[in-house]
Structure formats: structure tokens, C-alpha cells
Amino acid sequence: MRPARSTLISGATIFLSAFLLFWIQPLIAKRILPWFGGATAVWVTCLLFFQVVLLAGYCYAHALSRATARVQGIVHAVALAAGIVLLHYGLLAARQPPETRDPILGILLLLGSLIGLPYFLLSATTPLVSSWYARIEDAGMPYRLYALSNFASLVALIAFPSLLEPHIGVGSQLQLWSIAFSLFAALCAWLSLAAARPGAVSSASGAAVVDDAPPPRARDWALWLSLAACGSAMLLAVTNHLIQNVAAIPFLWVLPLTLYLLTFIIAFERERWYRPLVGLVLAAIALNAMSWGLTGISNRGAIREGVPLYAAGLFCCCLFCHGELSWRKPSKQYLTGFYLAVSLGGALGAGFVSVAAPHVFNSFYEFPVTMLACAALALVVNWKAGRLRVVLALAAFGVVAWYGVDRFLTLHYSSRVMVRNFYGGLRVDDIDLDDGSLGRELVNGTINHGVQYQDPIRRRRPISYYGQLTGIGWALRTKKFQHPEGIRVGVIGLGTGTIAAYGGPGDRYRFYEINPLVEGIARGWFTFLADSGARISVTLGDGRISLAHSPPAQFDVLAVDAFSSDSIPVHLLTREAAQVYRRELDYDGVLALHISNANLDLRPVAAAVAAAMGARAWLFETDPDPSRELFATSWVLIGGEEEAAKWRGAGATLLTPRSGFRPWTDDYSNLFEVLK
């Protein structure tokens, strides 16, 4: 095969494989997100899966490249054929799995059954095709193909939220992806068999061309692993921080990954595009800025200030890591080993953030720890590079250690309780309230999930988002007036259990909570559940799934209190969810949606839910009242015509469907439309 022709075909194959790799990542994560309660950790766990399978693919490419060209061609062609077959029995036949006690393991097993082999084969493409390309006479160094693969990945990541997600449903995209994978498999199989033909490579045995370059030292391998691990850990730590404090939406998955890939392109496309001194300066500035951001940015500044700050910081730190990797890349004789080390480092970094950190740390310490590791690496690689660079690296390390880590830890050490699991980190703090009394609050990320007076006289009073003049207060009090013998109330989202304060004799309140840690905190550190006059029960698990799998409850009020949090469970706001709610309500029951959110305007979504139920939506907005510990709150009540007069008299406003707004379904949602 001629080098020019080989370059074209190899480039096309690598481009298509990388495009498919990074198209399926946000697509499959969005597909399975509702099956695990919309938890933010779903995406981080998906990234771990992608990194591990990428490592497996690189191991396969590294091992296969040691065989003869003929064996390589036959083995890979057979594997590609098997991938097409399994794709149709996995991805296209995907069904919601049963709930598991370990969501991380459940996600990994599910992804393996859905896209394991196809993703494995796509992952092996860049190092394998690059090794074939490197054996052709005068083909030159193949590292630009690595930059090409990252460029294709970047194109896919940009196309998903901007072109694909707004216009094509998840199911249709999966079908298109499977067709594209079949085309890729045919092209790659042809290339592998063509490379195995006699005379296609410079060596009759198919072995790689050997040059006189010295083999990598142990220090080289250690730096490759460390730099790759640090970049991967920074990607996941920043992504985790963003989706914990804004929403688990594809845009906030795609943006960090896009910047991560862009740094690979810059580092590997042209050597002159990265300069160590510039990379060090940018990393030092970024680490200082992100250290300040950990304690200096409030939730209401999460999008306006936090997203640009952390996105820029991620870019600068990953540019440093990947730029230093590029400067230390070996000759093409050791190409697959280098790719293997980079992939192993990426998997180690991902494993640290998504698996080790939730089990070792009781809060999100992995972010400041990763920043500290980046500063330490800057010091290591620049230790013998001159006084200026050593001073810069020492300054970055010192600032991160003091401001980022020390202040972050000090902030969290004052908490009464700090616990963490797959669903996030929870913190209980004793606080001084505005009237000088003592209160206690539950915090998840930067979001307050409820406050209670510690004064025994006032501790039964519903405050924060749940005052008597809020939408939920009106709904519960009016229903209790209509049915003084007792009402049935369902609540998706337990928090501190504040809504139970409205319960009286004869009432039955059933809470649905996906995070098993929350119930222990609500019962052990707050007294709303214990003080309530109602009969209280708590069902653990995703609220929508639990409702769908139980007999109709005939609730008088069903409150969905899950949207003021740091992660928006989109599957609770779809047309299919509306049908579940309608089935669970009594004939005159009321659905109450708590849509208070610092970053998202959920009014058009709530109006669409009401339309799907054949009802009307009324918006209750209350102003903050610090003297009574009441927050600015937005509740939407959805019910029949008989409720309209009462709600209008209470100051509620009718929500009408927004013109041109496409209702959300399990197959389609778009949070770009509702960003504030």
C-alpha cells in the first residue's frame, strides 16, 4: 500500500473511530441516567468505564502489534464482526436493569453488556492503526494521528449538544450510531486485511521497524503515568464539581471533556504549539484561581462565575500535563507502550475520583487533592529546569496547599456530620440564624436542603422553602381543610423531612428518597419526622420507579421536591413521569413541584407536565424573609379547575405552555432552553 494512500485511509479510520467513541459517551450516559435516579455520579462512573475500556483496548493493541501482520489482520477482522453482532444484542435491546445495592458496579456491568465490545474495538483503533501506519516505508512519525483522533473526538463532543441532542431523540441516535459503527467496522477490517497482504509493510514478518533510540527509563514510565493520571483526575474532579453544583446535564459533561481533548490536540499536533514555561505559568495561575474558587464562589454564581473559572483552570492544568507528556514521548518503536502508559494513567486518575474518593473521603476532597498533585508534578518536572520555573512551581504548590486544601478542609471540619456515597456528599451544620437563635441545616454541595430551629418551642415550625404561604403550604393546608379526618401525602425527596411538620392526626405521609444516607440524617439530626402528628413512612429508592412499581396510592397531595438540588433528575419532569403522577393522585389530588433553582428556569417544563396530565399549573412565588428564616421559593401546583379559584385568590399566577417549547420525554430533554 502506498504511503499517501495509507495516510488517507488510516486517517479516515481513526477519525471515524474517535468520533464514534465520543458520540456514544454522552449519549449512553444520558440513556442510563434515569435508571439510576439522575445522580450526578452516573457520568463520572461512565467516564471511569470509558477510561478502563480504553486501557483494555490499548493493551489489546500493544499485544496484537507484536504478532505478524497476517495474524493481526485476521484477529482484528474477526473481533470487528463479533462487535457488530453483539452490538445489536446489547445496545439496541437495552432495558432498564433491576436496582442494585452498589450503583457503581451496576453501571459498570450495564455498560459492559451494552457497549463493552464495540467500545473496546473503537478504543484499540488509534494505537493499532498507528502501528500499522508506522511500519510503512517513509511513513514518518505517527503521533499526528493521535492529534487527529482527539480532533475527531472534539468534533463529536461539540456536535452532540449543539446538533444531535436538540433535534434527535436518544433512541434514534442509538440506531444511527449502530449503523455508523457497522460502517467503521467494515472500513477497519479492510484496512487490517490490506495491511496484512505481502509487501504492504516494510518487514516481511510484519514486525515494527526498529531504530536506535534508547528504551524508556523507569523515570519516563513514572512520569507518563503520573502526568496522564493527573490530567484524567483533574477532568473528573472538575466535572464532578460542576455537575454537583449546577446540574447533571450533557453540556456540563461535554464542556470539560472537550477542553481535555483540546489540550491533547495542541500538545501532540505540533511540538512548537506547547512551550514548558508558558504551560507552567498558565498552570500556576489556574491552580491559584481554582483554589480561591473552592471557597469564594457561591451557588448563585455557579454558572456565571464557576463554569468559566473551572473550565479555564481545567484547560490550563491539562495543557501542562499533556504538553509535558508530548515533550517526553518516545520514538515510534515504543509507540504502543507509550499509548498504554497514557491510557493506564488515565484509568488510574479516573479510578481515584470515581471509585476510591467516595469510599475514602467523606466530602469532595479529591478536587483540592488533585490540584495539589498537579502543583507537585509541576515542581518535579521543572526541578532542574532553571530558577524561574522552580520558583513558579514552588509558588503554585504553596498557594494550593494553603489556600485550596487548608481552607477547604477548615471549612468542612466545622460540620457536625459529613458523609458521602454514590449520590453525593451531605453535611450537617449548626448555624446562627438572623434572629440570634441557633439553627441546624442540611447541605448537599452548596445547596441548602432544609433548616430547623433548635429551640424546642419553634422546632416544629416549617421554614426555609416550606413556609405556610408557599405553594406546598397552601396545598397541604387546603387539603387538610377539605379532609379533616386525614389526608394522604406523598413526597419525592426527604431532605430534613420539613414537610412532615404539616402532618396531623389521621394523616399519612410517605417519603421517597433515593439516597439511603438521608433518612439516617433526617431521623438522627432533625426532629421533623419524630415531631409530626402524621403516620410517617420512608421508601428508599428512586421516587418515580418506586411509584410505578407499587399500587396506586391515591394521594391527596404528591410533592416532588427534587429540583432545588445540585443535580436535576430530568426523568421526574417528563411526559412519562406525568402519567405516573396522574395515576398516583386521587381524583381531586394536587401535584406540587418545587422548582426553586439558582440556575434553571423550570416553569415551562412544569407547564408541559401539567398539559400532559390534562390539568393546569399555578405558580406560587414567595419572597425571602430572613427574620422568619424563609427562603425565596417557587412552587408549582397542578390540579383541576375546582382548585383554580383558591389558588388565584392566594396570589398564584397561571402558567401557560411556552410557545415553541418541546415537552420533555424519556427520549428527549434539553436543559439549554431553561438556563437562566
Phi, psi of 625 (to 5 degrees): -135, 85
End-to-end, the C-alpha distance of the chain in Å comes to 55
Name the pTM for this structure: 0.80
Which residues of the chain are under the pLDDT cut of 70?
Answer: 1-7, 92-101, 133-146, 194-213, 245-251, 271, 295-304, 332, 386-387, 401-414, 445-446, 565-567
Backbone conformation region of residue 318, classed left if phi is above 0, alpha if psi is from -120 to 50, else beta: alpha
The whole-number pLDDT of residue 181 equals 92
Q: Which three cell numbers stand for residue 56?
A: 483494555
Instruction: Give the count of alpha carbons within 13 A of 273, CB side only.
Output: 15
For the stretch 138-153, pLDDT in tens is: 445 555 666 778 788 8
The whole-number pLDDT of residue 535 equals 97
The whole-number pLDDT of residue 585 equals 95
Phi, psi of 492 (to 5 degrees): -95, 110
The full length of the chain comes to 676
Give Cα separations from 103 to 99, 132, 208, 387, 513 (angstroms): 8, 40, 43, 49, 15
The whole-number pLDDT of residue 142 equals 56
Q: Strands 585-594, 535-540: parallel, antiparallel or unpaired by DSSP?
A: unpaired
DSSP string, 244-297: HHS---HHHHHHHHHHHHHHHHHHHH-GGG--HHHHHHHHHHHHHHHHHHHHH-
Domains and CATH numbers, the chain: 1-207 (1.20.1250), 215-413 (1.20.1250), 466-674 (3.40.50.150)
For the stretch 199-229, pLDDT in tens is: 554 443 344 444 566 788 888 899 999 999 9
DSSP string, 478-528: HHHHH-TT--EEEEE--TT-GGGGG--TT-EEEEEES-HHHHHHHHHH--H
The whole-number pLDDT of residue 63 equals 86
Q: Distance (Å, rounded) from C-alpha 316 to C-alpha 324?
A: 12
